Amino acid sequence: MKIGHIVVAGEIGGAERMLATLAQSPETGADHEVFLFTPSRPLYKVFRDAELVVHDRGAVQENPVAFMWRQLGPLDTMWLTRELTDAAVDVVHVHTLGSQVLGARAARSLGLPVVRTEHSTRVLDDPTAWPFARWSLARASASVAVSAHVGERFRKKAPWAAKKITVIPNGVDTDRFVLAPPLPAGRPLTLLFLGRLEPRKGADLALKALARVPGVRLLLCGDGEDRADIARLVKDLGLDARVELRGHVDDPTTVIPEAHAILASSRAEGLGIAFLEAMAMGRPVVGLATGGIREITDPDTSLVGAPSREVDVSRVDQLAAHMRDAKENLATLPELGGRARAKVVLSYSRASMAAGYAEIYRSVMSARR
């Protein structure tokens, strides 16, 4: 069985890292190849470093016009159909909005089943995205939600598709993300923000909360549309001495050990692969249990609270309160982190994720026969 993953993306995010992990997992019982549409050479490198076969469309554009042409025009679909045929793919697996219509069109022309992974609720919250997502969902054989939160949102939005939606949480390679040693005693609380710099991830909220809690440092790792605004906000809040803007980090295992905990400041979150990776390395989550985060955290492994449904200022207040809690209980964070790793090993391993997808792949192949 060969799985063809369609990737249309401009940046490296959790969905792309999850795909690389899944495709390297022998527990899927399948071979995996990537069909890539991106302007990002670093993203290409992610999949090549994972030793995957990559069918590269070249340096495509990422903008609204290019998106519409890719979804509705003939050229990219023709290229993808030809590549899928030459690779003898059995199942087409699409991951984000840019790949969903494109992948479904090519799969339909070849009579191949389509599996979707719903990595977030982004397409449900954007009225311009939902018509495309809905069209492809109606033509998918199966839809996998990365958390119960995401699955519930999709079932509510598309009750007609409820029977095809299954929850399979993201998994982490716990042989790669190993328990990191505690930081030396006496070091001030250091928190890690690891994610795209975009409104949903709430880096601005993290900085505003940090400004209210003296003596706490923040490693801010990520890139994206808000990068310039975030850099200005650091200066405006007078946080230059306490915030390190690291930019995109190729390997999270190099930066996670530098922090006492990972910070959750998202306005919306499907699950958050970065939180599972940090937990696997013994770093608890501090912040807001937004969306799917509440499913992977609990009082024994993290210092989190339910996000407010009110305006962002309330979220800032809550974030600051959790930062103070972590600062005052710094000595307890390694114990929380140890239990966090045990939870990931038990329930969120790469093997458990891969076994779930193996069942999905077998199911859609059987239905095809």
Q: What is the pLDDT of residue 224?
A: 85
Q: What is the mean pLDDT of the chain?
A: 93
- The whole-angstrom separation of Cα 308 and Cα 312 is 8
- Reported as a pLDDT band with limits 50, 70 and 90, residue 11 is confident
Q: DSSP of 121-185, one letter per residue?
A: SHHHH-TTTHHHHHHHHHT-SEEEESSHHHHHHHHHH-GGGGGGEEE----B-TTTSPPPPPPPT
CATH topology of domain 190-347: Rossmann fold (3.40.50)
Q: How many C-beta atoms lie closer than 10 Å to residue 56's C-beta?
A: 16
13, pLDDT greater than 80: yes
Domain-by-domain residue ranges, the chain?
A: 2-171+349-368, 190-347
Q: Please tell me the CATH code under which domain 2-171+349-368 is placed.
A: 3.40.50.2000
Q: What is the pLDDT of residue 311?
A: 64
- Reported as a pLDDT band with limits 50, 70 and 90, residue 297 is very high
Two domains, one topology: 2-171+349-368 and 190-347: yes
What is the reported pTM?
A: 0.90
Q: What is the pLDDT of residue 309?
A: 63
- Reported as a pLDDT band with limits 50, 70 and 90, residue 157 is very high
Q: What is the pLDDT of residue 310?
A: 64
C-alpha separations of 311 from 73, 197, 316 in Å: 41, 20, 9
**Best CA proximity match to 46, nearest among 19, 86, 79, 76:** 19
Lowest mean pLDDT among 185-199, 230-244, 308-322: 308-322
Q: Report pLDDT digits (tens) over 48-106.
A: 988 999 999 988 888 888 889 888 899 999 999 999 999 999 999 999 899 999 999 99
* Residue 287, SS3 per DSSP: strand
369, pLDDT greater than 80: no
- The whole-angstrom separation of Cα 206 and Cα 171 is 26
279, pLDDT greater than 70: yes
Q: What is the pLDDT of residue 308?
A: 65
107, pLDDT greater than 80: yes
345, pLDDT greater than 80: yes
- Reported as a pLDDT band with limits 50, 70 and 90, residue 305 is confident
- Work out whether strand 31-38 and strand 2-8 pair parallel, antiparallel, or are unpaired: parallel
Q: Report pLDDT digits (tens) over 130-142.
A: 999 999 999 999 9
